[in-house]
Amino acid sequence: MSASRDTLNPKLNTANLQHRLELINYYKYKNGVEMANWPHFAMKRLLNHTMRYKFNYAIKGFAAYLMYRDIAQYRHMKATSYLSYQ
């Protein structure tokens, strides 16, 4: 008997096939492939990403705040100041 014929014969490998199906279902539920679990999977990934890069996001947020503040100050100065005609 050849090894390839035995591996493709479901009657000889019923236990192996059942074990594979159980593993497939386990990882489907674990990784959120099922429709009921996808929000939890997405939120978990988002939280892990945010916690991993929190300092990076804090620095970028502070830089964005400084840019916003400077632009707002420039617009305010442009609106309130005027050139004198001599």
Scan for tokens 């916003």, then name that residue: 68
In degrees and rounded to multiples of 5, residue 77 shows phi and psi of: -65, -35
Per-residue pLDDT of the chain (86 residues; tens, 9 = 90+): 455 666 666 666 777 778 888 888 887 777 655 555 677 778 889 999 999 999 999 999 999 999 999 999 999 988 887 765 55
Please indicate, yes or no, whether the overall pTM of this predicted structure exceeds 0.85.
no
Report how far residue 70's alpha carbon sits from residue 84's, in angstroms, rounded to the nearest whole number: 24
Domain boundaries, the chain: 1-31, 37-80
